[in-house]
Structure 1
Amino acid sequence: MKVELIGAGETTQVYESKASSRLLYSGLKEGADVPYECATGTCGTCKVKRISGEFSWLWAEAPARALLKSTDDFLLCQCAASTDLKIEVRSKLKPLKAVDQRPQWLTGEIYAAATVAPGVMTFSVKLSQPISFMPGQFMVLEFAGIQGGRAWSMTNQAKFTDTLDFVIKKKPQGHLSDYLFEQENVIGLKANLFGPIGKAVYEGELDRDLVCIAGGTGMAGMMSILAAFIASGAYLRNRADVFFGVRTPADLFFVSELRQFVEQSKGALKVLVAFSDGPASAELIAANPLLTFDQGFVHEVAMRVMEGQFTPKTRAYLAGPPPLVDGALRMLLLKARIPATEILYDKFG
């Protein structure tokens, strides 16, 4: 089917999409400037309006469908073309992406997994072919028998690799996370993956000091960014302040990895762990002299600690539950006066 995007400023783009394919994924594969954030039906960013043609829902129960106000409105990530389509997109369309920057469908198999905190699992996927991705990007994973995909950020960093590492949390009423956590052994499970996608990426060649604020498994993409910060040598000219929020010490993970980042950066990278439900124990503090511990909501702790330290070189990365991201965004814009273009995050809910 031919899909024609009509953007602001009389900009247009055309791409092809099969009747069984999600319109968003088809557009991204062809380099079109289709709007998206989560790419899994929860955020509503890919909402567009039909001008002409017919479409069908592939997942009619997608949570973000509740945000739609007209039968002509639909989500690109959860609908397919039934006929040729003409679609209205609110933003001005940017030029097509280069071929080597376009995501693709891949297959993979889980070959390693571990429980790292209550209800938190890491796992690694061996891909059918190597890919390149930017630190901070994510993949959409689909497993047989589970409707809809789930977006998870890679924790590893590599310019060209056939292995991807993820960390996931068991979500209330999360069908896919329930499925994975209920397995006796996830090793050998096969998945379809789409990506890499995501806009909150790290560009090591830019002269930026980093402020990373993450809650829970939102730390996933930050780990990839921090690994690239070290590997690129950016720590020799820039600093990175990392704020990692979890509820209690029992919920903490990636401790040894974060310690290693601090050691490798020779002090240019600092990590503060904020517990929202209580203080760190004396034993935890003594065992981790390279880390700092505090109490409170992580975005509020970050603003308190960083007061007066934001500069024109600051770039902020945010990840975690929507209330955390929204709260941090408001504070960074209104109190720290960081330009919106220097606050990067992907919206997942």
Structure 2
Amino acid sequence: MLESNPRPGPFSDDLSASPEMPEPARDTRLIEVQSKSGSTGFACEPGETILHAGLRQGVTLPYECATGTCGSCRAKVGSGEVAVDWDEAPGHSRVKRERGEILMCQTRPLTDCVVRVPANVSVGFPRHALPQHFGGRLDVIRRLTPDVIHFELSLSQPISFDAGQFVLLRVAGLEGMRAYSMVSYGRNVRTLQLVVKRKPGGGFGNWLFEEAREGLFIDVFGPLGRATFHPDEDHNLLMIAGGSGVAGMMSILERATQEDYFRSHRGYVFFGVRKLVDCFYLEEFSRYVRAAHGNLEVTIALSDEDCGETCHAQYPEVQLAFGMVHEVCARAMEGRYDNVMSYIAGPPPMVDGALRTLIVGARATPDRIRYDKFG
């Protein structure tokens, strides 16, 4: 059942206005989550999804993409009535809707509800800031390649996030929200830098390329994601990315550079694109390599073009290799996995290939792999 209840975080031309949830109203709903670890309760504001309400209050509900694509936030309604925001969300293929199963990221309660979650659920994020709703204004739109755009959002209030996290974006007129990792890194900042690679049928990408203009407003929720970098963990870093999945890797590189992390640690970046003309952020890669005391290697993997060169002509700090990015990584990293934490982001087939490389070839354990798979 769908309804036209307005969503949280309305925009105004004044970005100093509070973007947080409205004051508790009479139709605030109480959610009880029954999980493997017991029962937890929280309030859900009008127009808010169950997943967003729980996460912003520190409840560790399961999720991965938080946009209706992956199906990781599956739950079953034990009692109460709910409405589905995006009925065609791809993740619905993984739930049995006739048995009352839902995607929490797409479901709003119409009454107080009890939901059952097949996972351990607790309260408190030990590493990450609690996600919140923000108003965002589109301030910069810069095309990097024919199908890649870098864009920047000014937020209604400061945000802190960990390197590797993402936010959800909603544009009026488009179904659902989209997840994009920050390219930048910062604490208490009011600007987010993000990147989008256009793909067939991509609603937000098409909007950004064809209709978006500076000054428009976007609903923002975050930060989210657990594929994060923390210097105190004291690992060498391996990053494997495809397309706009490189965003989170740029954020990790930015924080590592700010912390002078590569003075005492090694870093390896493998970025997969089809052809050399499809590559972007080359100037930034070069800057990170130059600041890394010889301890950072960046390799562009060209899947559809063998240019015959081992280094980029204009940016010699950046290496080039022919092949799928996970295959290039496997060849280059043989015997070099000591004390490595691996980060993977990109299209699902690329992520699956990189996971196989690390688990089968490098014998990496799950606690040493962090990834985002955005479909």
How do 1:32-71 residues align onto structure 2 when only pairs under 5 Å count? 32-71=59-98
- Asked if the contact 2:310/2:320 (under 8 Å) is kept, the reply is no
Number of residues of Structure 1 aligned to a counterpart in Structure 2: 346
Q: Distance in 2 between matches of 1:23 and 1:182?
A: 32
In 2, distance between residues paired with 1:234 and 1:228?
8
Q: C-alpha separation between the residues in 2 aligned to 1:230 and 1:144?
A: 37
- 1:286 matched residue in structure 2: 313
In the alignment, structure 1 residue 111 sits paired with structure 2 residue 160: no
Deviates more, 1:245-254 or 1:141-150: 141-150
Structure 1 residue 100: Cα displacement: 7.8
Task: Tell me the SS of whatever aligns to 1:345.
Answer: strand
* Deviations, residues 129-177 of structure 1 (Å, cap 9, x unaligned): 1111100001101112222111111101112210000010112111221
For the residue of structure 1 that corresponds to 2:305, the secondary structure is coil
Q: Out of 279, 303, 316, which is 1:252 matched to?
A: 279
In 1, distance between residues paired with 2:94 and 2:364? 30
Cα deviation for residue 98 of structure 1 reads: 6.7
Which amino acid is 1:157 matched to?
Y
Distance in 2 between residues matched to 1:283 and 1:294, nearest whole Å: 6
Does the CA-based 8 Å contact 1:111-1:126 persist in structure 2? Answer: yes
- Any gaps of 5 or more consecutive residues in structure 2? 1-28
1:315 matched to which residue of 2? 341
Equivalent residue, structure 2, for 1:229:
256
Shift of 1:319: 0.4
1:82 aligns to 2:110 (yes or no): yes
Contact conserved, 1:216 with 1:320, CA < 8 A, in 2?
yes
Answer yes or no: is the 8 Å Cα contact 2:311–2:318 preserved in 1.
no
**Structure 1 counterpart of 2:221, from 184, 187, 194:** 194
Q: Which residue of 2 aligns with 1:338?
A: 364
Query: Retained in 2: the 8 A contact 1:139–1:197?
Result: yes
What is the CA deviation profile of residues 265-318 of structure 1, one whole-angstrom value per residue up to 9, with x for unaligned ones? 12111100000001136597332221110001001110111011111x110000
Alignment of 1:10-25 (within 5 A): 11-25=38-52
**Gapped runs of 5+ residues in structure 1?**
none
Query: In structure 1, what is the Cα distance between the partners aligned to 2:369 and 2:228?
Result: 11
Q: CA deviation at 1:38?
A: 0.6
CA distance in 2, matches of 1:206, 1:330: 24
- Residue deviations 1:171-204, cap 9 Å, x none? 2111221111112x62111111000111101101
Secondary structure at 1:97 match in 2: coil
Aligned counterparts, 1:54-203, within 5 A: 54-71=81-98, 72-97=100-125, 101-183=129-211, 186-203=213-230
Letter in 2 for 1:318: I
Amino acid at match of 1:124: E
Taking structure 2 as the reference length, the TM-score comes to 0.89
SS of equivalent residue, structure 1 residue 287? coil
**Compared CA separation, residues 265 and 65, structure 1 to 2 (3 A):** same
Query: Contact 1:31–1:99 at 8 Å: present in 2 too?
Result: no
Q: Percent identity?
A: 39
- Give the drift of 1:96: 2.6
SS at match of 2:231: coil
Query: Aligned residue for 1:304?
Result: 331
Q: Label 1:330 to 1:314 Cα distance change in 2 as closer, same or farther (>3 A).
A: same
Equivalent residue of 1:102, what SS?
coil
Q: Is the 8 A contact 2:246 2:271 kept in 1?
A: yes
Secondary structure of the residue that 1:92 maps to in structure 2?
A: coil
- Alpha-carbon contact 1:31-1:98 (below 8 Å) kept: no
- The aligned counterpart of 1:30 is 57
Distance between the aligned counterparts of 2:32 and 2:160, measured in 1?
29
Say whether the 8 Å CA contact 1:118–1:250 is kept in structure 2: no
Corresponding position of 2:293: 266
Q: Report the 3-state secondary structure (helix = DSSP H, G, I; strand = E; otherwise coil) of the residue aligned with 1:188.
A: coil
Which moved further from structure 2: 200-209 or 12-21? 12-21
Q: Is the 8 A contact 1:322 1:347 kept in 2?
A: yes
Amino acid of the structure 2 residue aligned with 1:74 = I
> Which whole-Å CA distance do the structure 2 matches of 1:30 and 1:273 have between them?
40
How far apart are the structure 2 equivalents of 1:70 and 1:217?
32
